[in-house]
Amino acid sequence: MKNRTLILSALLAGAFGTVHAAEDLSAKVEKLVASSFKPGEGQDMSRLVQDETQKLCSKYRNNPPAKDADALNKRERATIKYPDGNKLMGDWKNGEKLAKGGFGMRIGAIEPDPTAKQKGGNGGNCYACHALDPKEVAAGNIGPSLTGYGALRGASDDIVTYTYDKLYNAQATVACSSMPRMGHNGILTPQQVADITAYLVSPESPLNQK
Amino acid sequence: MKRNLTVKGMAALALALAAPVAMGEVSVEEYRAMLADKDANPGFLVIDQGEVLYKTKRGPKNASLEKCDFGLGPGKLKGAYAQLPRYFKDTKRVQDIESRLLTCTVTLQGFDEAEIKKKTFADQRYNETNTDIEMLAAYVAYQSNGMRINPPLKHPAEKEARKVGEAYFWNRHGPMDFSCATCHAEDGKRVRLQNLVNVYNKKDIQATMSTWPTYRVSHGVARNMQHRMWDCHWQMRTPDIEFGSPATTALISFLTHQAKGGTYDLPGMKR
């Protein structure tokens, strides 16, 4: 995908007015979106409004110029919030539940997630994209395998902070990452992010057992 | 349609229909193996129902859909789906099979568009049978079975739909920061155990587009591309995308052009 986007940008740059072409297309996409969703019961139109980061990643098809990528990382880093007491290693058992969950935040009039059934918060959807617990075979591969994460990296403060930050806002370090900005976008609370951090890092976690 | 379900097929079919709940993540290959006999695809029943519906006089104008023009002229169904989406002069926009069916039910039969749009998809949670528009689309699409995917790209609006459709494919929005490209722009990717089509891989996207409409085993009904567009948006946590909207039509234009040259093998059968 990277290669293709590179070739594409090169082709566009070779032609006239890269930026104009991209801006023009972005405006057309915005119009398309505005004419294809309708407000009403169960809908939340605010979800269609892009923030600066989503706009940039869309326009450059996840491959922004280095200067923009740096500014993006800085901006996203500034959003990171820590739980009260700054304890970034939470309860790995709760973290395990959250990591396995895929429920929550689906909306609309057709098949919204029933909020009444949703006691422990939104699922983190980690298994959609990552392998984690070696016993769980139904694991996706959009992101890298996290099996043995803590066993391989240890549990130093640096690793714990890196992990917490990655979960809270993946784009603080990787511009236009495919990983959702879990904390920043309100999918998970700071405490829940700390719980999943413990699930990844803690030596007791099943993820770190052979 | 002249196909009949064989006895062997019916037995396999009963198995398959009982399976979805119990079997969870069974691969399409396994379902296919169970249903080795293509005649047993329950999608054929939906096509038959669609044919009856298509030829029945209905609606305030008490007319059938037999004069509907899918681009090759009124009533010319053979090969029409293989050349969709396309620009239509009467509506002055690019339409796919389903938005065109909607146009015809309104203009020929006098149905109310807003009323039909209230319920376009069967709800699999309640074991509903297919909606009228789902059955109709399955029938009309089947008239292009075995033909090459060959959407026209002459009219400026057709070029525009494809181009803006691709740009929208990369558009990230919603609380998950997803775009279609997050899941469908690389080879060999999976969400959990579900294989994801790479729309930039010619073979991959041809295999996908040539098998829609499809019978979805996990839903127990036939599904069309408008439903798949809604389903993926739902997973992206956006509001409901509108049936036959400019965005779904632009996406379907882009996807169909990516699959150009593939051969329709209908009805499909998928998880």
Q: Residues A51, A104: one domain?
A: no
The identity of residue B22, as a single letter, is A
- Asked if A15 reaches chain B (Cβ–Cβ under 8 Å), the answer is no
Q: Is A78 part of a structural domain of the chain?
A: no
Report the C-alpha gap between B59 and B68 in whole angstroms. Answer: 14
Q: Residues B92, B157: one domain?
A: yes
Q: How many CB pairs under 8 A join A and B?
A: 133
Residues β-bridged to residue B63? B58
Q: Which two tokens stand for residue A205?
A: 């976690």
Q: Residues B16, B53: one domain?
A: no
Task: List, by residue number, the catalytic residues of B.
Answer: 232
Q: Residues B36, B78: one domain?
A: no
- Overall number of domains in chain A: 2
Q: Residues A193, A97: one domain?
A: yes
- State the ipTM, two decimals: 0.90
Q: Residues B171, B252: one domain?
A: yes
Phi-psi domain of B177 (left: phi exceeds 0; alpha: psi -120 through 50; beta: other): left
pLDDT reported for residue A116: 67
Q: Residues B133, B260: one domain?
A: yes
Q: Residues B22, B139: one domain?
A: no
pTM: 0.92
Q: Residues B152, B228: one domain?
A: yes
Look up the domain containing B20 and give its range: 1-40
Q: Is A112 part of a structural domain of the chain?
A: yes
Q: Is A48 part of a structural domain of the chain?
A: yes
The continuous run of DSSP H or E covering A157 comes out as: helix A157-168
Q: Residues B21, B117: one domain?
A: no
pLDDT reported for residue A36: 98
CA distances from B241 to A1, A173, B27, B95, B155 (A): 27, 32, 28, 16, 26
B67-82 pLDDT tens trace: 999 999 999 999 999 9
B127-178 pLDDT tens trace: 999 999 999 999 999 999 999 999 999 999 999 999 999 999 999 999 999 9
Q: Residues B46, B34: one domain?
A: no
Q: Residues A118, A171: one domain?
A: yes
Q: Residues B81, B11: one domain?
A: no
B22-67 pLDDT tens trace: 344 556 666 666 555 677 899 999 999 999 999 999 999 999 999 9
Share of chain B above pLDDT 70, in %: 86
Q: Residues B25, B14: one domain?
A: yes
State how far residue B42 is from chain A, nearest Cα, in angstroms: 24
Look up the domain containing A155 and give its range: 84-208
A33, A108, A141: residue with CB nearest B234: A108
CATH of the domain at A91: 1.10.760.10
Q: Which two tokens stand for residue B194?
A: 């579900």
The identity of residue A137, as a single letter, is V
- Overall number of domains in chain B: 2
State how far residue A150 is from chain B, nearest Cα, in angstroms: 22
Report the C-alpha gap between B203 and B188 in whole angstroms. Answer: 13
Q: Please, what is the end-to-end C-alpha distance for chain B in angstroms?
A: 25
Q: Is A77 part of a structural domain of the chain?
A: no
Domain end point (choices A71, A100, A128):
A71
In a 13 Å sphere around the CA of B254, the CA atoms on its Cβ side amount to 22
Report the C-alpha gap between B172 and B180 in whole angstroms. Answer: 8
Q: Which residue of A has its CA nearest to B229?
A: A36
State how far residue B234 is from chain A, nearest Cα, in angstroms: 6
Q: Residues B1, B80: one domain?
A: no
Q: Is A129 part of a structural domain of the chain?
A: yes
Residue numbers of chain A with a pLDDT score lower than 50 = 1-2, 6, 8, 10-16
Report the C-alpha gap between B93 and B108 in whole angstroms. Answer: 18
A208 phi, psi to nearest 5 deg: -105, 10
Q: Residues A109, A66: one domain?
A: no
Which residues, at least 6 apart from A159, have a Cβ–Cβ distance to it below 8 Å? Answer: A150, A153, A201
Q: Which of B94, B166, B177 is the mutation pick for testing A, counting most A CBs within 10 A?
A: B177
Please judge whether A35 and B237 are an interchain contact, meaning their C-beta atoms are less than 8 angstroms apart.
no
CATH of the domain at B260: 1.10.760.10
B175, B237, B242: residue with CB nearest A37: B242
